[in-house]
Amino acid sequence: MEVKNFAIAIHGGAGTVSKSSMSKWKERAYKEVLRRAVTVGSIILQKGGRALDAVMEAVMIMEDSSLFNAGRGSVFTADGKHEMDAAIMNGRNLKAGSVAGVTDVKNPILLARMVMKKSKHVLLTGEGALNFAKEQDLELKPKEYFFDQSRYNQWLRAKEKNKVALDHDEASNNKFGTVGAVALDKKGNLAAATSTGGMVNKKYGRVGDSPIIGAGTYANNATCAVSCTGHGEYFLRYCVAHEVSSLIKYANKTLEDASELIINGVLKSAGGRGGLIAIDTLGNVAMPFNTSGMYRAYKISLEKEFISIY
């Protein structure tokens, strides 16, 4: 089946993002990376490429930017290290690959894709994931590549207060978020991808929602593709991404209603802060968040892209 629409939506994290804490040039810098990521993904789709490739390429662009809490810009753990999580899912056949607690790997989303493609497993963690990356000849980077002075200062502040924080809540240094992408290709296939450094000052070995299929990442051609960002523990307990899909499948909700209900209803009442991006089989896009901002963008077919923060 060829569908008329193709579309991609991306996020760069949700949190306390206020216009007053953001300088003009910083805002421009964030928007520029979002624009590049959504454009590259959209061109892949326009040329008839796969949703899976579009979400992966878009996420890799954000992983390579130190502005976002994923790949290069990952936040510091309580031990002063970087442990990254990522997941990718193909809505066509429900195949998925993910990694948790990985170090040194330049693009964790690429590693997640390799887990899906080249292993018999769905989720690899820590040293096992790193060994697999080496077997697959993926690019590794030295510690300095992941070092960023402002993130280091952010970690020192969190450590001092003995706090585990969302990267995006550190308005003072204007460095925000986990990244993700969802897409619909011309063949009607959906895909989702999410990549993160997790929460600032997180405990050694802590895994968030991003690499957990059904919590932070989910795609199913029968319903939608979803990528989440926010306080992972809540997204895990409320199985957020899969819940949105279930509301569409079993309760006949629209994408918009299902996503709103979970983020601004269920999760908000529970105290879970964050947002998500979702796309359905018709190319409808939903981007609800219950924080003051979420870095986000989408592009539907050949229409002009939409980019926003607050």
Instruction: Provide the binding-site residues for ligand ASP, judged by CB under 6 A.
Output: 13, 69, 166-167, 177-178, 196, 198-199, 208-210, 216, 229-230, 232
- Minimum Å distance from CB 202 to ligand ASP? 7
- Minimum Å distance from CB 5 to ligand ASP? 28
Q: How far is CA 202 from the centre of its chain?
A: 18
Q: 77, 103, 178, 223: which is the annotated catalytic residue?
A: 178
The residue among 69 and 245 lying less far from ligand ASP, judged by its C-beta, is 69
The residue among 123 and 300 lying less far from ligand ASP, judged by its C-beta, is 123
- Minimum Å distance from CB 43 to ligand ASP? 27
Pairing, β 190-196 against β 84-90 = antiparallel
The residue among 214 and 232 lying less far from ligand ASP, judged by its C-beta, is 232
- Minimum Å distance from CB 11 to ligand ASP? 9
- Minimum Å distance from CB 272 to ligand ASP? 10
Determine the Cα–Cα distance for residues 111 and 56; give it in Å rounded to an integer: 11
The residue among 86 and 138 lying less far from ligand ASP, judged by its C-beta, is 86
Determine the Cα–Cα distance for residues 5 and 11; give it in Å rounded to an integer: 20
The residue among 45 and 309 lying less far from ligand ASP, judged by its C-beta, is 309
Q: How far is CA 268 from CA 88, 180, 200, 230, 309, in A?
A: 26, 21, 21, 11, 20
- Minimum Å distance from CB 196 to ligand ASP? 5
Residue with tokens 């879970």: 272
Q: How far is CA 219 from CA 92, 184, 198, in A?
A: 8, 10, 21
The residue among 190 and 228 lying less far from ligand ASP, judged by its C-beta, is 228
C-alpha angle with apex 119: 115 to 122, nearest 5 degrees? 55
196 catalytically annotated: no
| Residues noted as catalytic | 178
